[in-house]
Structure 1
């Protein structure tokens, strides 16, 4: 979820924590002021250097530092980087328990960590922990350098720390719920996670910063996506990975994949087992992926390709169009790579058609509106009954860049408006984004329509927000959507839509 989708669900206390995390000496009285100032300063919020700076926990006490990492690792493994408060606490406890349990398994440690690396790192680790119950900044920095030199992951560090009785706490004692909640507040104050409430309380890493957090934390792919990558490899390739790490290569393909996941082998480590030519061959089978570059760059190209994979639960398994609706914004922006990876399209030409079908689904199923049939082929993409004597027409325009509203579309739309047998009260243009020139064209079209037709531009992301949230603006048990929400000329921004829903529904 993006910031603009999360902020309306957040209360003043939690909004204040975000504001304080990246804007100093700014005071606001209302929730709406806070939301507006956050959106206006979104570039600063998602600034890579800000995020990296706030991911440095070395000045915090040991428990906060470790739990901050456990919380972020737990969220990064989830679809959408989202968990309810209770599930997140359970996942953190589960992750800590899993590391402690694995640290006691000598066979696991033997295959997970090189013997020399374990011996050297453990000796330094024991010495660092000797004097008291914490590590100072100097000791942490030395361990970080040594870990990188020995090619050990942060999880390897935790495993070895657990073997000397220092993870998660002294004598391998797990953290309490109260300690986890304290870290949750710390991460909010750093602007790394957000808390919002629907039916229950949720924590999320916003989409604007999720990828930065993942890479800085040493994460590469969620297990679900990593399994997809491994499944796309053949048995011989999986054997190459396992052999390079001295891990058993016997069993079925599924057994090999399970073994790689179980040993927490990073995708980059697995792919480094291949030569440059082998990596090129893998990339050639990934449509749209860049094939050239150094070995390291080719490994990263493969990881980046699979990073685009997401497999959300279908919005409505009973309607095939719901799968298109799930990728509504990608259809609007012609994100061919994401659409192909997720098997939404097999031909680029399908994008416009599927964008239209997804919009019909949105109006019909999400807003509960009745679509009006249109005769012939020269007409707008869709029609809605506004009143007994008026209708609303809409047209989809998917573009990779912001929509400019060219003259050819102006002529096309004015033809649709004037030829309709019923007065068109509003003509809605659904796009991924639009320019200032497009807004001026919308105003011009209203003047030339000869019917005083309102012409509105709306982003697909904002229309989807309306589809998902409109019922929350009504206090009725069975609310009905009011098309007056769209009855305007110019740009229907997110804030304007929220304002109109507040009084229209």
Structure 2
């Protein structure tokens, strides 16, 4: 979920923590003021250097620093980077328990960490822990340097800490709920996770910063996506990975994949085993992936390809158009790579048609409005009744760059408005983004319509927000959507839509 989708579900206390995480000396009295200032400063919120800086936990006490990492790792393993509060506590406990259990398994440890690397790192680790019950910044830095020199992962570090009885706490004691709650507050104050509420409380890493968090934390792919990558390799390639790391290579393909996942071999580690030519062969089978580049770049190209893979459940299993609705913003922005990877489109020409179908699904199924059939082929993309004598028309324009509202489109839309047998009270233009010039064109079209037709530009992300959230603005048991929400000329921004829904529904 994007920040703009999460903020309306956050209360004042949690909004305040986010504001304080990246803005100083800014005081606001209301939740709306907080939401507006966060959206206005979203570039600062998602600034890569800010995120990387706030992911350095060395100044925190041991339990906070460790739990911060456990929480982020738990969220990164979930699609959408979101967990309910109760599930998050369970996932952190599960992760800590798993590391302790694996560290006690001698057979597992023999294959997880090279013997000589374990001997060297453990000796330094034991010495660092010898004097007291915590590690100072200097000791942490030395261990980090040694870990990188030995090419050990952070998880390897935790395994070896557990071997000497120091993970998660002294005596391998798990962290408590109260300790986890303290870390959750710390992560919010750093602007790394957000807390919101629907039917229950949830914690989430916003989409704007999720990629940076994942790479900085060393979590290159979620397990389910990594499993897809490994499943696309052949048996010989999987055996090469395991053999190179001195891990047993017997069994069927599923056994090999499971063994790689069990040993927490990073995707980059597995792929780096192959030569440049082998990596090119893998990339050739990934439609739309860039094949050229250095060995490191090719490894990253493969990881990036699978990072875009998503396997969402259908919004509505009874209607195949819901699959298009799930990728509504990608269709609007012509994000061909994401659409191809997720097998939403077969060819680029499908995008415009599917964007139109997804919008019809949105009006019909999400807003509960019956569509009006249109005769012939020269008409707008959609039509609904506004009253007994008036209608609303809309047209979809998917573009990679912000929509400019060309003169050709102006004349096209003017023709739709004037040729309809009923008065067009509103004409909606649904786009990914738009320019200031497009807003001026919308106002000009209203003047030229000769019907006083309102002409509004609306972003696909904002229209989808309306579709998902409008019922929340009504206190009725069976609310009906009021098309008055869209009856305006110019920009239908998120804040304006929220305001209009508050009194119209």
TM value normalised by structure 2: 0.99
C-alpha deviation, 1:235, in angstroms: 1.1
C-alpha deviation, 1:340, in angstroms: 0.4
- Looking at structure 2, the residues matched to 488 and 256 of structure 1 have their Cα atoms a distance apart, in angstroms, of 59
The corresponding residue for 1:307 is 307
C-alpha deviation, 1:345, in angstroms: 0.4
- Looking at structure 1, the residues matched to 30 and 353 of structure 2 have their Cα atoms a distance apart, in angstroms, of 43
Q: How does 1:36-435 map to 2 (within 5 A)?
A: 36-435=36-435
- Looking at structure 2, the residues matched to 52 and 380 of structure 1 have their Cα atoms a distance apart, in angstroms, of 47
The corresponding residue for 2:458 is 458
SS at match of 1:203: strand
SS at match of 1:428: strand
- Looking at structure 1, the residues matched to 459 and 325 of structure 2 have their Cα atoms a distance apart, in angstroms, of 14
The corresponding residue for 2:442 is 442
- State the Cα deviation string for residues 257-286 of structure 1 (Å, max 9, x = none): 111111100000000110010001111121
SS at match of 1:238: helix
- Looking at structure 2, the residues matched to 246 and 353 of structure 1 have their Cα atoms a distance apart, in angstroms, of 51
- Looking at structure 2, the residues matched to 11 and 159 of structure 1 have their Cα atoms a distance apart, in angstroms, of 39
C-alpha deviation, 1:91, in angstroms: 0.1
List 4+ stretches of structure 1 deviating above 2 A.
none
SS at match of 1:424: strand
C-alpha deviation, 1:234, in angstroms: 1.0
- State the Cα deviation string for residues 429-469 of structure 1 (Å, max 9, x = none): 10000000100011111111111111100000000000000
- Looking at structure 2, the residues matched to 236 and 412 of structure 1 have their Cα atoms a distance apart, in angstroms, of 57
SS at match of 2:388: coil
Mean Cα deviation higher: 232-241 or 388-397: 232-241
- State the Cα deviation string for residues 298-341 of structure 1 (Å, max 9, x = none): 10111111111111121111110000000000000000000000
- Looking at structure 2, the residues matched to 434 and 80 of structure 1 have their Cα atoms a distance apart, in angstroms, of 27
- Looking at structure 1, the residues matched to 231 and 493 of structure 2 have their Cα atoms a distance apart, in angstroms, of 42
C-alpha deviation, 1:375, in angstroms: 0.6
SS at match of 1:140: helix
Q: Can you give the 5+ residue segments of structure 2 that lack an aligned partner in the other structure?
A: none
TM value normalised by structure 1: 0.99
C-alpha deviation, 1:185, in angstroms: 0.4
- Looking at structure 2, the residues matched to 487 and 286 of structure 1 have their Cα atoms a distance apart, in angstroms, of 45
The corresponding residue for 2:10 is 10
Q: How many residues align?
A: 505
- Looking at structure 2, the residues matched to 375 and 42 of structure 1 have their Cα atoms a distance apart, in angstroms, of 44
SS at match of 1:388: coil
- Looking at structure 1, the residues matched to 404 and 235 of structure 2 have their Cα atoms a distance apart, in angstroms, of 50
RMSD of aligned alpha carbons: 0.6
Q: Can you give the 5+ residue segments of structure 1 that lack an aligned partner in the other structure?
A: none
- Looking at structure 2, the residues matched to 201 and 54 of structure 1 have their Cα atoms a distance apart, in angstroms, of 24
- Looking at structure 2, the residues matched to 112 and 404 of structure 1 have their Cα atoms a distance apart, in angstroms, of 55
SS at match of 1:362: helix
C-alpha deviation, 1:288, in angstroms: 1.9
The corresponding residue for 1:502 is 502
